[in-house]
Amino acid sequence: MLEKKCRARLRLECQRGAGRALAQPDWYRKIGDLGPDNIAPAQDQCGIGEAPARDCSSGQHTGIGSDRSTAPPAGINRLGRVGYATLCALRSLSHGDSERFAKSWNMPVLRGRQGPRVEALLAWYDVHRRVLPWRAQAGMRADPYHVWLSEIMLQQTTVQAVDRYYRTFLSRWPTVEQLAAASLDDVLAAWAGLGYYARARNLHRTAKIVAGQMAGRFPETAAGLRALPGIGPYTAGAIAAIAFDEPQAAVDANAERVIARLFYVKTPLPAAKAELRARTQALVPQRRAGDFAQAVMDLGALICTPKAPQCPRCPWQEACIGRVRGLVETLPRKAPKPDRPLKRGVAFVVVDAKGAVLLQRRAEKGLLGGMMQPPLGPWGADFPAEYDAMTQAPFAATWIKRPGLVRHQFTHFELEIEVYVAKLTRRPRIQGRWVQAHALAEAALPTVMRKILVHGLGTTTFAPA
């Protein structure tokens, strides 16, 4: 079946491709890195550029890509690299299929100059690399603490969002030992707003392990790094490559986009992740693995952008199957996201006579684990009626419902919250922490809880109304 499929495709491709080679030899040289010598024999072919192979019949063979032939048909032999380059570069046979096909006909397997050249990418990177606060200068060894900190922060987040947080962390805790000595509360507060708060808790746990059990030295291999809390396969590969030059693939969203386009990977994400990782790993050089990892990321961030990629400036343009096929902006494909359910509930903002606000800590495990919040009711399909809401309040008081509501989007659901406010002359006996309004900005409050407090306090800042 494979051979039949290959040959049927080859028939079509050789006819189309060779026809174009005659009309536009420069184009052909570009896509296949071929010179005039490679193209010249093709011009002698019978039927090239004409209707499907009808003029190529000779003897037993019916022409280019005969289904009955076991040796390369005469047309293919004479087409040589041109026809095969067309096959490889233009159409959807995978590299594996193409290689098996080529071997079955004793044709050269086109690698190297046909594929993406690592040296070309590294040369581009040497000139165009981004300057990032956690990145070592060219030729300098990266600090594993800086690399680890940035890679944990960059999970699910953009470089722009991370920049401020990274600088804050590094100025407060310049070494892993200092981060380990910090309180979890301080770490969570410094992380507030960056989201995915389990990362902050794992960051702190890892800092304690590295500082306490590893004498402040991070493991130098991806396998060793994976044993630490909060370090999955991607992060381990990225840290090992960037900090220790271990030949590991680092496939972030930018790299996924580049590799999906480069190899025309049609499988939608996230199912394509394993293939994209394997294809990236196959490209990783033994030397400058860290630069390679960062170069692919930078290529995705600067050139191979989600919209309007600048292919003419790309060091891999000649090898890029997605570009040749004109389907760049359709890649990578993504599986449709399931609808996010809507959850609703109520929150209670309590202000004492001195303007301090009551906060409570969330459970360690689960959503926003360990972060602070105003008292909340349970979340369900609808808002509770006002009477029911009062039964969810932390204590009896004169609760005033604020007009409007707070909306927030989590990854897997949307949340709407109605906010009730009580102003007290005396603090009730209740578990929690009273935080002065001016200190709320420093509290470990995730974004949704800040929104609730701002709404409840009737202000755009944390100053009380």
Catalytic residue numbers, as ranges? 151
Check binding of 28 to ligand SF4 (CB under 6 A). no
- Write the DSSP symbol of residue 288: S
DSSP, res 362: P
Residue placing its CB nearer to ligand SF4 in the complex, 204 or 261: 261
For residue 30, the one-letter residue type is K
Q: Which stretch binds ligand SF4 (CB under 6 A): 23-31, 192-200, 312-320, 370-378?
A: 312-320
Quickly tell me which residue has 């006002």 as its tokens. Answer: 386
What whole-number distance in Å separates Cα of residue 387 and Cα of residue 348? 14
Of 204 and 323, the one with the shorter C-beta distance to ligand SF4 is 323
Q: How many residues bind ligand SF4 (CB under 6 A)?
A: 14
**Shortest approach of ligand SF4 to residue 157 CB, angstroms?**
23
- Residues with Cβ within 8 Å of 263's Cβ and at least 6 positions away in sequence, in order, are 95, 279, 321, 322
- The token duo for 395 is 């204590």
CA distance 48 to 44: 8
In the complex, least distance from residue 28 CB atom to ligand SF4, rounded to whole angstroms: 17
Instruction: Report the residue number, 322 or 446, with the smaller CB distance to ligand SF4.
Output: 322
Q: Give the integer Cα–Cα distance in Å for 2 and 100.
A: 9
> Does 389 contact ligand SF4 by CB under 6 A?
no
Closest to ligand SF4 by CB, 151 vs 291, is 291
Query: Could you identify the residue written with the tokens 């049927």?
Result: 8
User: Are residues 133 and 167 in contact, defined by beta-carbon separation less than 8 angstroms?
Assistant: yes
Residue 210 touches ligand SF4, criterion: CB under 6 A: no
| Strand, coil or helix: 325 | coil
> With respect to ligand SF4, which residue has the nearer C-beta, 90 or 314?
314
Interface segment toward ligand SF4; rule CB under 6 A; list 135-143, 279-287, 313-321, 376-384: 313-321
Give 375-391 as a 3 state SS string.
CECCCECCCCCHHHHHH
HSE-CB of 12 using CA atoms within 13 angstroms: 10
Min CB(1)–ligand SF4 separation in Å: 30
Minimum gap (Å) between residue 325 Cβ and ligand SF4: 10
Q: Please report how close the Cβ of residue 264 comes to ligand SF4 at its closest, in angstroms.
A: 9
**Which three-class secondary structure string do you get for 312-356?**
HHCCCHHHCHHHHCCCHHHCCCECCCCCCCEEEEEEEEEECCCCE
What are the residues whose beta carbons fall under 8 Å from the beta carbon of 266, sequence distance 6 or more? 92, 331, 333
Residue 199, interface with ligand SF4 (CB under 6 A)?
Answer: no
Instruction: Select the residue interacting with ligand SF4 from 222, 317, 351, 435 (CB under 6 A).
Output: 317
Q: Which residues pair with 345 in a beta bridge?
A: 417
Phi, psi (degrees; rounded to nearest 5) at 355:
85, 10
Q: Based on CB atoms, which residue is closest to ligand SF4, 29 or 226?
A: 29
Cα distances (Å, whole numbers) of residue 136 to 131, 143, 147: 9, 7, 9
Q: Quick check: 248 and 284 in contact, CB under 8 A?
A: yes
324 near ligand SF4, rule: CB under 6 A? no
Residue in 303, 368, 419, 443 binding ligand SF4, rule: CB under 6 A: 303
Site string for ligand SF4, 230-269 (x = CB under 6 A): ----------------------------x--xx-------
Q: Quote the least distance from Cβ 375 to ligand SF4, whole Å.
A: 50
- If the CB atoms of residues 101 and 316 are measured against ligand SF4, the closer one turns out to be 316
The span of 21-29, 121-129, 225-233, 316-324 binding ligand SF4 (CB under 6 A) equals 316-324
Q: Give the interface segment with ligand SF4, choosing from 134-142, 321-329, 387-395, 450-458 (CB under 6 A).
A: 321-329
Task: Give the residue with the Cβ less far from ligand SF4, 334 or 354.
Answer: 334
- Asked whether the CA dihedral 250, 144, 132, 205 is positive or negative, the reply is positive
Position 328 contacts ligand SF4 (CB under 6 A): yes
Please report whether residue 295 would count as binding ligand SF4 according to CB under 6 A: no
Q: Does residue number 280 form part of the binding site for ligand SF4 (CB under 6 A)?
A: no
Of 219, 309, 370, 394, which one interacts with ligand SF4 (CB under 6 A)?
Answer: 309
Instruction: Please name which of 339, 130, 370, 343 lies closest in space to residue 254, comparing C-alpha atoms.
Output: 130
Which residue pairs from 135-139 have beta carbons closer than 8 angstroms and sit at least 24 positions apart in sequence? 135/294
**Member of 105, 148, 316, 420 binding ligand SF4 (CB under 6 A):** 316
Does position 304 interact with ligand SF4 (CB under 6 A)? The reply is: yes
Inter-residue contact 438 to 447 (CB < 8 Å): no
CB of 91 to ligand SF4, least distance (A): 16
Applying CB under 6 A, among 120, 311, 390, 405 the residue interacting with ligand SF4 is 311
Q: Is 368 left (phi over 0), alpha (psi -120 to 50) or beta?
A: left
Q: Which is nearer to ligand SF4, 129 or 261 (CB)?
A: 261
Binding footprint of ligand SF4 on the chain (CB under 6 A): 258, 261-262, 303-304, 309, 311, 314, 316-317, 320, 322-323, 328
